[in-house]
Amino acid sequence: MNDWFERVRQVEASHDKDGDEEWAITQQLKNDLLVHRNPVRGLTLPLFDRILDWKLRRQRGRTEHHRDEWHLRISQLPWFA
């Protein structure tokens, strides 16, 4: 079996899904989408808002992480200090 695949399986097996709030939110949203399935009417506004909140919260987190990393690196340049 592929070494990469085996490492991914080990990480998955060691992850505490019950203690991970983000995992629980994602699974609940996924289940709500499966139950909702109404292609004629589309998503309800509250469900649509939850999807946007979930997606944008992750994007904001990545952006803030990269911004903090960039500020740290640039502050270490000799001409910036």
What global pTM score does this model have? 0.54
Where would I find the H helices in 1-81? Answer: 3-14, 21-36, 45-75
Q: pLDDT tens string for the chain (81 positions)? A: 689 889 888 888 888 888 888 889 989 999 998 888 777 878 888 998 998 888 888 777 777 777 788 777 777 777 665
Residue pair 26/53 in contact (Cβ under 8 Å)? The answer is no
Residues in the chain: 81
Q: Which are the contacts of 69, defined by CB distance < 8 A and separation ≥ 6?
A: none
